[in-house]
Amino acid sequence: MDRPFAPAEVLQAAGLQDLSTMRSPERLAKARLVVEGAAGSSLLSALVDLAARCTGTGWAQLSLLADEQVAAAVRRAEPASTERVTALEDALCTVTVLSGDVLVSANTRTHPWLSSLPHVEAGKVGAYLGVPLDLGDGLLVGALCVFGPEPRDWSDRDVGLVCDIADIVVLELRRAVAALAP
């Protein structure tokens, strides 16, 4: 998809990377390998479920960002959406990866980086907490996130737990990628 990333001017003003960095050949090759390695992992699904339960949210997702966002593991409070693939331009996790840091928003509708994204505008995501995933080589391949349709405050405990679970996700992704090596 060649249309510009929705909040491009906001990302630039905030000093975030350009979406073109997501399309570097090196990062894409690594991300595609991670997507392949993560496919069908029951451990990754359990970790996503744990993130949702620990934070008291009904929604959690492991998003891997290659040519598009692939939801490798998802927990939803209700089966309203079975969407597993999202354009990078439309994904909250893309903003998390571009920021290079934990992204916490108690109210996505008023957050300058998130408010114009489709899932926020549609009322599907009112609060968001995402942790970028770095397999140790500096190439961010995705994010572990928890979210809900209504605004809510995230405690330091919530942030810490999701970061800890993201560390375990990274270990499992490394293991899965290594298992693919010849």
In tens digits, the chain (182 residues) has pLDDT values of: 233 344 555 555 555 566 777 778 888 888 888 988 888 889 999 999 999 999 999 899 999 988 887 877 787 655 545 557 878 888 888 889 988 899 999 999 999 889 988 899 999 999 999 999 998 888 889 999 999 999 999 999 999 999 999 999 999 999 998 888 76
Rounded CA separation 181/71 (Å): 23
Instruction: Confirm whether 2 is domain-assigned.
Output: no
Print the domain residue range for 133: 20-180
Q: Token pair 């999202």 is at which residue?
A: 86
Q: Domain holding 166: CATH number?
A: 3.30.450.40
* Number of domains comprising the chain: 1
14 belongs to a structural domain: no
Tell me the C-alpha to C-alpha distance, in Å, between residue 103 and each of 29, 46, 87, 98: 25, 22, 19, 10
**CB-side exposure of 36: number of CA atoms within 13 Å?**
11
Residue 38: inside a domain, yes or no? Answer: yes
> Of the candidates 74, 73, 51, 71, which has an alpha carbon nearest to the alpha carbon of residue 154?
51
**pTM, 2 dp:** 0.87
Domain assignment present for residue 12? The answer is no
Beta strands 103-105; 59-65: pairing state: unpaired
Domain presence at residue 142: yes
41: in domain = yes
Rg of the chain taking only CA atoms, in angstroms: 15
Grouping H, G, I as helix, E, B as strand and the rest as coil, residue 47 is: helix
Residue 15 covered by a domain: no
The predicted pLDDT at position 8 comes to: 55
Q: What integer pLDDT is reported at residue 47 of this predicted model? A: 94
CA dihedral for 116, 166, 76, 107, sign (positive or negative): negative
Supply the pLDDT for residue 46. Answer: 92
Tell me, yes or no, whether 11 lies in a domain: no
The predicted structure's pLDDT at residue 120: 93
